Amino acid sequence: MGRKKLYFTEEEKKEARRRYEATYLSKPNKKQQRYETNNKTQSERYKRWQQNNKDKVRLKSAMERAVRLQRLPNWANVNAIKDFYCNCPDGYHVDHIIPLRGKLVSGLHIVENLQYLPAKDNLSKSNKFSL
């Protein structure tokens, strides 16, 4: 029996690479093709949905932020929070009375901690809490 070859010459490496590329890389990737053809229409459809469902987009981002900050307790009434966001008047923001990330105190993402504020006031309030 002959000894097992422990190394390959440069020509053998190139030939193996060429066979691999011819076998696996030359075939069109169906997932990639589908992504490229549908990506633009999907993103346009999602942007239209966001424009038509601003209340749902605001709710989703607020819920994700609250969960990420661990400020959404298990006992919170998620449906009431959803209704609060959906009923926000135009020109107003949903604001946390006690900020979720305050310097001195941190509030919870619950209905009792939410209020409607004019956009200008909410942006000037920032992350502050005052009695």
Angle between helices 54-68 and 30-52 (to 10 degrees): 110
How much of the chain exceeds pLDDT 90, in percent?
21
Token pair listed for 86: 């959906």
CA 25/CA 58 separation, integer angstroms: 43
Q: Which tokens hold the place of 106?
A: 């941190």
Q: How do residues 73-109 score in pLDDT, each as one tens digit? A: 889 898 999 999 889 998 999 998 888 877 788 888 8
User: The whole model's pTM is what?
Assistant: 0.53
Chain-wide mean pLDDT for the chain? Answer: 84
How far is it, in rounded angstroms, from Cα 1 to Cα 9?
A: 22
pLDDT for 31:
78
